[in-house]
Amino acid sequence: MSITSLMLGWEFPPLISGGLGTACHGLTKAMSRRGMRVTFVLPRHKPMHFAEMGDDVGVASVKGMRNVRVRPVESSLRAYGRFGPKPIHPVSAAIEAELSDEPAGGPTPYGPSLEQEVFRYAQRVMRIAERERFDVIHAHDWMTFPAGIAVAACSRKPLIVQVHSTEFDRTGEHVNQFVYDIERQGMHAATRVITVSNYTRNIVITRYAVPPEKVEVVYNGVDPSAWSRTTPRPPWPASGDRNVLFVGRITMQKGPEYFLYAAKKVLEKLPNVRFIMAGDGDRLHGIIELAAWLGIGHRVRFTRFLPSQEVQRAYRMADLYVMPSVSEPFGIAPLEALLNDVPILISKQSGLAETFRHALKVDFWDTLEMANKIVAVLRHKVLAQSLLANGQAEARRFRWEDSAAKVNDIYQRVLNVA
C-alpha cells in the first residue's frame, strides 16, 4: 500500500539553516524513491510563486522527488523559528538564538508573540489539511506539534511526531516552560514518537514520561551524492598550518567554549594550527571575546553562517573535524566531514557516538583529553588515515533509504492498528 504523509516542518532546502532541513530533505527524498507520497507543509514569511495545481492554493513539486509536493503556508515561522517583532512571552537565550533572524548580537525579531505565531500556523495548516488527502500526519519538532495535534483531532488520522532536538538539548536545565509543554503534549498526543537516536529516546522517556513502547529510533542518514568531490583533496602537508574545523550554531548546545579551551591547549604544543568556526548564534560575540581573552584570537577564524558549497570548501581545507556538543541528538555534520575526507572527533554526549565506532570520542567537558586527541591526529598521519578510511566505510552505513524504510514500517503498523 502506498501511504501518503502530510508532513509538517519549518525548514526545507533551499530554505535551510541547520540540521533539521538536511534531515527533512534526506528523509523525504528517500521516501519518494520508495514510492511513498509526501505533502510537505512549509511556513513562509513571504509568498511563494508556484504554478497552480488545480485549486486556489499554490503547490510545487520538488526537483528529483516525483512523489513530494510542497505546500507553502503564510507564517512568520521560519528556519529555526524565526519571526518578526519582539515577543510578549519571555524565552530562554538558546531559544532566542534559534528564533533570531538577525546577526548575532542584534535585535531578536518575532511575531507579536511566540505562542500566537505557533497557534496561528496551526490554524492555517488545518485549512490546508481540509483540502488534502493523506493517511498519516508526520510533524517535525515542537513548533509543528500543535498543528499536528489539531489536524489529527479533526481528521481522525494517526499522528507521528519526530523529535530531532528537545528543550533539554537546547537549554540544559533552564527549560522554557511553554516550549516544554508543547513538546510533552505533542509526544503524548502522538500514536508514535520517532527519535533520531537512543540518546534522545532516553530523554523523551525520562524527561517527558512517554511510554517506552511508544518511542522508536530512526537514525539519520547522509547523502554521498550531495558531497561529490570535483577536485582532489590537497596532500597531507609536510609543514605549514593545520586546520581544525567546527561547523554548527554558536550556541550553548554545540559547546563552542570547550572547542576554544581545547584549542588553547593544542596551541601550547602545536603553534601552527588554525581553528575555523563556521556558524552563527547567540554566543558568537561572546565566543569571539573568549578567543581574544585566551590569547588565541589570531589563530581562530570565524566565518559566520556558510551555505552548503562554502561548507564543503571548509571541509576540504580541514585536517580534523571536531564536534564538542554538550547535547547532540544525532550529528549529521561528522558524517558529511568523513565524506569530504576529514577524520572526526566527536562528543560522547551525542547520538552518533552511541553507534559509531571509527571516531575519536571525548566528553565535551574534558578539554585536556580533547586537546590531546587533536594533537595526536595532527601529529600522526597513520592515525588520521586509519580513522578516515574506517570512518568512511562506516559512514556509508547511514543511508536515508534505511531511514525511509523504517518510517514506512512505522506508518504501516500505525495504520493497521488504527
Give the position of cell 519526530: 162
Where would I find the beta strands (DSSP E) of 196-264?
215-217, 242-247
Residue-level pLDDT at 65:
83
- Stated as kind and residue range, the H or E segment containing 335 is helix 333-339
Determine the 3-state secondary structure of 303 from DSSP: strand
User: What are the pLDDT tens digits along the chain (418 aa)?
Assistant: 689 999 998 777 666 656 788 899 999 999 999 999 999 998 875 555 443 333 334 566 666 788 999 888 877 665 444 333 333 333 344 444 443 333 333 333 334 577 788 888 999 999 999 999 999 999 999 999 999 999 999 999 999 999 999 999 999 888 999 999 999 999 999 999 999 999 999 999 999 999 999 999 999 999 887 665 655 565 545 456 899 999 999 999 999 999 999 999 999 999 999 999 999 999 999 999 999 999 999 999 999 988 888 998 999 999 999 999 999 999 999 999 999 999 999 999 999 999 999 999 999 999 999 999 999 999 999 999 999 999 999 999 999 999 999 999 999 999 987 6
Other C-beta atoms within 10 Å of 288: how many? 18
Q: Which three cell numbers stand for residue 315?
A: 571541509
Q: In whole angstroms, what is the distance from residue 218 CA to residue 311 CA?
A: 26
Nearest-5° angle of CA 384, CA 390, CA 394? 135
Of 72, 63, 73, the closest CA to residue 32 belongs to: 63
Residue 340: partners with Cβ closer than 8 Å, 6 or more residues away: 227, 229, 233, 312, 315, 316
Q: How far is CA 55 from CA 58, 62, 131, 151, 366, in A?
A: 8, 18, 9, 20, 57
Q: How far is CA 317 from CA 12, 237, 261, 341, in A?
A: 27, 11, 22, 10
- Enumerate domains of the chain plus CATH numbers: 4-221+399-417 (3.40.50.2000), 224-395 (3.40.50.2000)
Residue-level pLDDT at 99:
38
Following DSSP, what letter does each residue of 29-95 receive, concatenated?
HHHHHTT-EEEEEEEESS-----B-SSSSB-EEETTEEEEEEEEEE-S--TTS--SSPPSS---HHH
Query: What are the residues facing 242 on neighbouring strands?
Result: 273
Residue 255: partners with Cβ closer than 8 Å, 6 or more residues away: 324, 325, 326, 347, 364
Of 208, 179, 181, 180, the closest CA to residue 193 belongs to: 208
Residue-level pLDDT at 227:
62
